Structure 1
Amino acid sequence: PPEQSLEWSDAGVEGAHRFLKRLWRLVNEHASVGEVPALVPDTLTGPQKDLRRKTHETIAKVSDDISRRLTFNTAIAAVMELLNEVSRLGDDEPQSRAVRQEALDVAVKVLSPIVPHVCHTLWQTLGHSETVVDATWPVADPEAMVRSEIEVVLQVNGKVRAKENVPADIGKADLEKLALENENVMRFTDGKTVRKVIVVPGKLVNVVAN
């Protein structure tokens, strides 16, 4: 943040250098494979959707960090998280390459105000004819940020006993049924009477038993 002073740190410089080297490597490895197909959102698999969602969440966060909050450190941290997701999507299926291209385009563009010279070169490596400084700032797509699945925590008497991935629009009754039929929850309620099931939609189910 601009209102805070900065103490010189060799470790900090080394960390920034490692981050930029990683970005450089990811961009060049991606570009070396060849032409990238057009992105077709309706055909994406779960992991591909996850990366695309992270890409657009990053656009939203970095745009706010830079334009409103003026916190460049958190903007960089958000791009680091995005690169982690890029690395997780390891295959070279056509649509994987398409969502990876979108993610790397975004990473380079939103970092360009901070490291313009590196991003100028990487932008061209990604196949763009215009310079990065002339490229339009990306806009987050609300539809891309919608989660089809969420993780809910299953508790017994307030202690976490399991976690489950469920449809984002799952109802309370289905969540309760899921919890009561979970193998680990059943193990910790075996021989006990279930007194209450507390459902917090989108977050957790707590089974109270004694």
Structure 2
Amino acid sequence: MDEGEGGLRERKKRQTWSALREAGHRLAAERGVENVSVEEIAAAANVSKRTLFNYFDSKEELLFGPDPEDPERLAALVRERPAGEPLWSSLREVVAGYVAVHETRFRLHKQFRYASGGVLEPALAACVAGRGTGDPLHDELLTRTAMTVLRTAFAMWQPTQDYAELSRLVRHGFDLVAAGLGTDRAPVR
């Protein structure tokens, strides 16, 4: 089946973007962000420095910027949630699913104290808007509380720990809120 010129071009652009991101992440993880140049990243991805700058404005954007596939990846995570599932459970699974596919990104962000709201918060807001209560304050609190759970779990997790610990902390945080954080009902772990 012929993809056509546009489809092939887009696929090659995505492959080049991914090769640059992967090379940057690998080199930064091995040597540290400050010890890696854009020339080295380009060489590791087998492209020129000029090509690198066709895709990224800076080394920081390459290493820490959003993945262009994240919005669709997050939309798919939202669509996968069953219609009758409690909204807070859906938010927990969307956040956990996002965390599951971004180990390298989260490790680098933690190691270099880089924080980003990224594309996750708008995806959670869309999830809530699609299944929310109709009370704007309630829906906004759900979205922001879900982000707070992730940010708090991320703050507690150390990159020297197994990555599964971050997912455990995220799920535990969601469970604590669901059980009534600050009440005697909150589970102890």
- Larger radius of gyration between Structure 1 and Structure 2: 1
Larger relative strand fraction:
1
Report the TM-score when normalising by structure 2.
0.29
Report the TM-score when normalising by structure 1.
0.27
